[in-house]
Amino acid sequence: MATTVTRRAFLRAGAAGAAATLFGFDLRPAQAQVRTLKIERTTETRSICPYCSVSCGVIIHTLGDRSRNVTGSTVVHVEGDPDSPINRGTLCPKGAALRHNINSEKRLTRVLYRAPGSDRWEEKSWEWALDTIARRLKDTRDRTLRLQDAQGNPCNCLTSVGVLGFSAHDNEAGWLANKVLRTAFGIIPFETQARI
């Protein structure tokens, strides 16, 4: 005997559920298989969304298995990390679109330097950038470090150099940055992107 199903009931049940009910087969295993296939051959890397101070945990799925003969990598999927106590697997629209940012041709992956007074950017190596930063930090500190404040108290203050941290700093990175920048170099202006 034919089963009578109203149009309203059919729509409410949803296409997959209704099909299973009406025609006697279950689409759920096939749907689960489709979801599995997308990340079947990927390597999972846990990271932190870089956009804001919430610092949600993400899992980045990359094609390949990190073998030595695999060159390059393609990020095929980014999802919220269910083990992160911060977001428990959820992401806002910006974080959910992270894959497009990672794969974007406009993403900056090399050092660009604009000399003082110049109107153009020059491409430089990472070695050049690190050496130049270290040289300028040392020279500036040697030239401008204040050993005493106005009352003659020792202060070892360096206010001519500023540092901007990023919102994904965890406690350990923040502690290390303070030790190196404040204690070792004496740098006072130290701000984080999370407060901007």
**What are the residues binding ligand SF4 (CB under 6 A)?**
49, 51-52, 54-56, 87, 91-92, 94-95
Q: Which is nearer to ligand SF4, 94 or 138 (CB)?
A: 94
Q: Which is nearer to ligand SF4, 84 or 158 (CB)?
A: 84
The 3-class secondary structure across 81-135, one letter per residue, is CCCCCCCCCCCCHHHHCHHHHHHCCCCCCCEEECCCCCCCCEEECHHHHHHHHHH
Q: Which is nearer to ligand SF4, 94 or 179 (CB)?
A: 94
For the bound state, the minimum distance from the C-beta of residue 177 to ligand SF4, rounded and expressed in Å, comes to 20
For the bound state, the minimum distance from the C-beta of residue 84 to ligand SF4, rounded and expressed in Å, comes to 10
Q: Which is nearer to ligand SF4, 95 or 158 (CB)?
A: 95
Please tell me the number of Cα atoms within 13 Å of 134 on its side-chain side. Answer: 6
For the bound state, the minimum distance from the C-beta of residue 146 to ligand SF4, rounded and expressed in Å, comes to 38
Classify strands 154-157 and 163-165 as parallel, antiparallel or unpaired. Answer: unpaired
For the bound state, the minimum distance from the C-beta of residue 99 to ligand SF4, rounded and expressed in Å, comes to 12
**Residue number with the shortest CB distance to ligand SF4?**
95
Q: How many residues does the chain have?
A: 196
- Helices H / strands E in the chain, number of each: 7, 9
Could you tell me the sign of the dihedral formed by the alpha carbons of 107, 113, 118, 120, in that order? Answer: negative
